[in-house]
Amino acid sequence: SVSSKPDYQESASHEADEGQSGVVIEATGINKSFSELQVLKDVSISVKKGEAVSIIGPSGSGKTTLIRTLNGLAVPDTGIIKLDGENIFFSHPDQPRSRRLPRQNEIKKIGMVFQQFNLFPHKNVLQNITLGPRYHRRGSKAQLETEAMGFLDKVGMLEHAYKYPHQLSGGQQQRVAIARALAMHPKVMLFDEPTSALDPELVGEVLKTIEVLAREGMTLIIVTHEMQFARRISDKIYFMDEGSVVHSGSPQDMFDNCDEPRVRQFLKEFN
Ligand code: ADP
């Protein structure tokens, strides 16, 4: 039933925003250069509500830059980015004046979890989580703290609510970072290699947390080198190489049926 859905899922009143297609976030024809180096070449991706989408590929292929364009941390040179069918970025090479930068109220519908957890070092866990919601006046202090405790419970960090980041392991800090992103009630969560800064024994607890979100129907996009994880949780996987999407499809399509030599070569190195 609807009432049993986790509270970060959108209420029915928002369903209409997405229109018939169910597409929550869509990037079309994204190009991006850093001086001489073109790091994104006509990249397009599309993610539907409730989908878990992974982006894989060799280092330097543009995966991180791509997801940073989705929430305004990197600005494309050209392309279109839509959230709920509405342009949040638009720039056409022949119409430079059409360019529009994303606004804060649009960006905050997109949650982001970084490689380096980026918690505020002088705030405790609970404060780290309530800071954003309090700034955006999402409720009273007491309401937001109660809600934050719910998110901490979800990521298995309830008992650490009053600790400071330096008192936590990397895996624990990353789970707090996930709770912090959830507390803004995002429409989509972006994960940029969330386990690559962790000691191997801490990777599992973070992947498990993300997997729970995926299973509950959170819309998410994850850049990852964890191939078994990507295969297990993804509805769709994009493979990037040298700034381009060279293949996309279901996990089975990517891992078992894809003849693209760059994909085969890359996956072979993980076996
Ligand atoms: P990936 O996530 O697939 O490893 P990135 O998106 O991080 O790839 O990087 C793609 C390319 O863009 C790399 O060659 C990288 O060095 C370059 N790059 C990324 N960010 C910047 C930046 N801010 N300035 C200059 N070059 C950058």
pLDDT confidence band for 139 (50 / 70 / 90):
confident
Specify the amino acid at residue 87.
Answer: N
Span 112-134, average pLDDT: 95
**From the alpha carbon of 35, which atom of ligand 1 is closest?**
25
**Residue 102 pLDDT exceeds 70:** no
Closest Cα to atom 25 of ligand 1? 34
**Nearest Cα to Cα of residue 160 among 128, 136, 138:** 128
**Tokens describing residue 58:** 């060799």
Q: Is 63 in the pocket of ligand 1 (CB under 6 A)?
A: yes
Q: How far is CA 266 from the centre of its chain?
A: 23
pLDDT confidence band for 1 (50 / 70 / 90):
very low
Coil/strand/helix, residue 84: coil
Question: Best mutation site among 30, 39, 222 for ligand 1, i.e. most ligand atoms within 8 A of its Cβ?
Answer: 39
pLDDT confidence band for 205 (50 / 70 / 90):
very high
User: Could you report the per-residue pLDDT of 140-191, keeping only the tens digit for each?
Assistant: 999 999 999 999 999 999 999 999 999 999 999 999 999 999 999 999 999 9
Residue with tokens 């866990």: 125
Closest Cα to atom 26 of ligand 1? 34
User: 79 CA distance to ligand 1 centroid (A)?
Assistant: 18
More confident residue, 88 or 98: 88
Supply the pLDDT for residue 98.
56
Q: Which long-range contacts link 196-203 to residues 24+ away (Cβ below 8 Å)? A: 196/115, 196/225, 197/115, 197/116, 197/117, 197/170, 198/170, 198/171, 198/174, 199/170, 199/171, 202/169, 202/170, 202/171, 203/171
Q: How far is CA 101 from the centre of its chain?
A: 20
User: 220 CA distance to ligand 1 centroid (A)?
Assistant: 22
User: 62 CA distance to ligand 1 centroid (A)?
Assistant: 6
Q: How far apart are CA 260 and CA 266, in angstroms?
A: 10
Angle made by CA atoms 183, 187, 188, in degrees to the nearest 5:
95
User: Could you report the per-residue pLDDT of 215-248, keeping only the tens digit for each?
Assistant: 999 999 999 999 999 999 999 999 999 999 999 9
pLDDT confidence band for 136 (50 / 70 / 90):
confident
Span 112-122, average pLDDT: 95
pLDDT confidence band for 137 (50 / 70 / 90):
confident
The answer to whether the CB of 85 falls within 8 A of the CB of 23 is: yes
Closest Cα to atom 19 of ligand 1? 65
Phi and psi for 239 in degrees, rounded to 5?
-110, 125
Integer CA distances (angstroms), 198 to 107, 117, 270, in order: 27, 10, 18
Lowest mean pLDDT segment, chosen from 14-23, 35-44, 65-74, 244-253: 14-23
Supply the pLDDT for residue 15.
45
**Tokens describing residue 195:** 């386990």
Phi and psi for 74 in degrees, rounded to 5?
-130, 140
Span 122-148, average pLDDT: 93
Reported ipTM: the value is: 0.98
Q: How far apart are CA 183 and CA 133, in angstroms?
A: 7
Supply the pLDDT for residue 104.
63
Question: Best mutation site among 43, 65, 66 for ligand 1, i.e. most ligand atoms within 8 A of its Cβ?
Answer: 65
Q: Is 65 in the pocket of ligand 1 (CB under 6 A)?
A: yes
**Tokens describing residue 193:** 């290699």
Q: Which long-range contacts link 26-29 to residues 24+ away (Cβ below 8 Å)? A: 26/80, 26/81, 26/82, 27/66, 27/69, 27/70, 27/79, 27/80, 27/81, 27/82, 28/79, 28/80, 28/81, 28/82, 29/78, 29/79, 29/80
Q: Is 32 in the pocket of ligand 1 (CB under 6 A)?
A: no
**Nearest Cα to Cα of residue 7 among 174, 246, 182:** 182
pLDDT confidence band for 138 (50 / 70 / 90):
confident
User: 118 CA distance to ligand 1 centroid (A)?
Assistant: 19
Q: Strand locations in 141-243, DSSP E?
A: 188-192, 220-223, 236-241
